[in-house]
Chain A
Amino acid sequence: MALAISSSTTSLPRRSVTEPAWVRLLLIVSALGVLALFLLLPLVTVFGEAFSKGLDAYFGALGDDDAVAAIGLTLTVAAIAVPLNVIFGVVGAWCLAKFDFRGKSLLITLIDIPFSVSPVISGLVYVLLFGLQGWFGPWLKLHDIKLIFAVPGIVLATVFVTFPFVARELIPLMEAQGTEEEEAAVVLGAGGWRIFWHVTLPNIKWGVFYGVLLCNARAMGEFGAVSVVSGHIRGLTNTMPLHVEILYNEYNYMAAFAVASLLAMLALVTLAVKSLLEWRFSREIAAGTRHQKT
């Protein structure tokens, strides 16, 4: 975003548009100042605090049984939630972008619900539905199925919260691409599956990839909804963000920041991969994607 703006201003005629030097300097310094204060400084603090007692203590905190369990759970949840949402997202977007039917706008609104509802509320809804006192609680108990305060509940809440990422990324892209290529494939004798794999999917692969990146980052970092349904059982239902909170509340700052540094690194890697791909495949991406930011 910032890149696009700066490159378009430099192409404008200089004299008529450019502000005096001191104004430019002031704007640049204040922008960088805000950036440093609110984005860079916290990041530095996370890593500074994490390594405050040395490397051994850092790896010790990460090697702690409960920490390992939390990392494992977070990876498991992401490994289930992300593929599910890729499937839902692609199917949903395909359905919404390539076909016209009654209730289409209602469906788009439904997909957006997780964005508009506070994650805590969505967590609470699951507790009310599937908890012991919830609607389906007695039935679930009778059949010995435990959703709330257990891993399935965490997965469910994460899937719900990250549901729109892939679909939202794909709908505008697929709408812009239209259905002509699919029609061409049909006329040439291709069947539905083949069209999907050979025509539709290759055209949206970058959109899917972006969706996966964003979805994954959120799935691993989700706090609110997961916090409500997890029950905070150490070593069992604690994800990384929950584990950070517990450690922090126990005044174990160093360990809390050590685990937090992993999450921060996830964010950095996500950004790096995204930028790298944008740089490497900019032309292909520009051909298909009109990026809409959430």
Chain B
Amino acid sequence: MMIDARNVRKTFGTFAALNDVSLQIAEGEMVALLGPSGSGKTTLLRILGGLEFPDSGSVLFDGGDATKVAARDRCVGFVFQHYALFRHMTVFDNVSFGLRVRSRAERPSKQEIARRVHHLLSMVQLDDLATRYPSQLSGGQRQRVALARALAIQPRVLLLDEPFGALDAQVRKELRRWLRRLHDELKITGVFVTHDQEEALDVADRVVVMNQGRIEQIGSPTEIYDRPATPFVYQFLGNVNALPCQIRNGRAEIGSLVLPAPAYAGVSSAAGMAFVRPHDLQLSRPGEGEGALAVVHHVTVLGPTVRVELMMGEQIVEAETTRQRFSELGLASGQQVQLWPREARFFLRDGWEGTSFQSREELARSSAML
């Protein structure tokens, strides 16, 4: 199903949970709503499911206005963060609930219900646990029951609220892969909420990054990671060094480091922030290349990669390098190295809070200048 949310606003008391959010979701797409807690992502999901109603704006399902349609008539599958399984019902009764509550005219026969439930249970690999109660299941099993229950009514869209939030890392990873496979098989439109960027990048076709009730950026996982539109997205997705800088006539000065910033050619002088990913920082011996001098503060070896904490003046900078490069340089605490960002991006300080797309400009590709 195609979903179209238009200019949705929602406030709880004085707290603006959603501030003019518009979002289109294509048929069969898997979309992640990614953001920190309080960003409005769960509220948006609940509005799509009909569990909350927007103060203004509208929600369209396949072009038809669904804004005021009650949750029970929306035909959506909703998976709750804590599963919300009916604790006094068996797994079978949980999954069949949505079919059993239908009016006599729409309700499938008993045999048909049993057939469908067992089909779903075998799909989630829980067929032999049909007579168990939720309290007798592990977290991962409960999650799969919740999913089977949501799918039993053949929903037009599947909504998942932090589906793997309460599970441990191993189970989470497994279920993630499994959900992705399931989605590829069923081709159902899906929206899930998460605060885990890895989960969003791994499972979703498209990621919607939210912050303070607004959408910061919408894009494919690669787009979001490689070309963050705002400082917020930069910092939320992956490790990044945020370095205060001064922008003057198309150049950015970070301490003694001067980088080209052609997008700001018209700016005579302004305070800004430079964003550099740790793995984009190139380390070399002093005098061997360009760049600013820094002192190694701390070294952490993480398997094949090495994380180096450096002091560049007063600023702590994190760099990531390979094990091989690390031994070539013979890095140790207190040693001086030269730093050069292969890639960096600059944002002006003005207006990076507030509307999200204001500071979108071309990526400064310092590497081309080398």
Report the separation of the CA atoms of residues A186 and B49 in the bound assembly, to the nearest whole angstrom. Answer: 10
Tell me the minimal C-beta distance from A103 to chain B in angstroms. Answer: 16
CB atoms of A287 and B101 under 8 A apart: no
Q: List 25 A-B contacts (CB under 8 A).
A: A181-B84, A181-B85, A183-B51, A183-B80, A183-B84, A184-B85, A184-B149, A185-B97, A185-B101, A186-B51, A187-B49, A187-B51, A187-B71, A187-B74, A188-B98, A189-B75, A189-B153, A190-B72, A190-B98, A191-B72, A194-B101, A198-B97, A202-B88, A203-B87, A288-B87
Contact residues in B for A199 (Cβ distance below 8 Å) = 86
Contact with B along A153-186 (1 / 0, CB 8 A): 0000000000000000000000000001101111
- CB under 8 Å from chain A, chain B span 38-89: 49-51, 70-78, 80, 82, 84-88
Contacts of B77 in A (CB 8 A): 187
Does the CB pair A287–B71 fall under 8 Å? no
Q: Count of chain A residues with Cβ under 8 Å from any Cβ of B?
A: 19
For residue B78, which residues in chain A have a CB less than 8 angstroms away from its CB?
183-184, 187
- The complex places the Cα of A191 from the Cα of B152 at a distance, in Å, of 17
Partner of A181, one of B50, B51, B87: B87
Given contacts A185-B97, A187-B76, A188-B72, 6 further A-B contacts (CB under 8 A): A183-B78, A186-B51, A186-B72, A187-B77, A190-B97, A198-B86
Q: Which chain B residue lies CB-closest to A184?
A: B84
Give the CA-CA distance A96 to B337 in the complex, in Å.
65
Q: Are A180 and B82 in contact (CB under 8 A)?
A: yes
Interface residues on B, range: 20 to 34
Q: Is the CB of A184 within 8 A of B82?
A: no
What is the CB-to-nearest-CB distance from A119 to chain B, in angstroms, rounded to a whole number? 37
Interface residue SS majority, chain A: helix
Report how far A183 CA is from B70 CA in the complex, Å. 12
The CA-CA distance from A50 to B135 in the complex, in Å, is 49
Q: A189 and B51: CB pair below 8 A? A: no
**Do A189 and B72 form a contact, CB below 8 Å, given A183-B51, A287-B135?**
yes
A205 to B, closest residue via Cβ: B88
Contact string, B88-103, partner A, CB cutoff 8 A, digits 1/0? 1000000001100110
Minimum-distance CB pairs A-B, first 3: A188-B98, A180-B84, A184-B84
Q: Which residues of B contact A185 (CB under 8 A)?
A: 86, 97, 101
User: When the two chains form their complex, are residues A188 and B97 in contact, meaning their CB atoms are under 8 A apart?
Assistant: yes
Question: Inside 8 A of B70's CB, which chain A residues have their CB?
Answer: 186
Q: Is the CB of A188 within 8 A of B101?
A: yes
Question: How many Å lie between the Cα of A283 and that of B102 in the bound state?
Answer: 32
Known interface pairs A183-B51, A194-B101, A287-B87; A188-B82 also in contact (CB < 8 Å): no
A107 to B9 Cα, complex, angstroms: 32
Quick one: which of A187, A287, A288 has the most chain B CB within 10 A? A187
**A188 partner residues in chain B, CB cutoff 8 A:** 72, 97-98, 101, 149-150, 152-153
Complex Cα distance, B84 from A183, in Å, reads 8
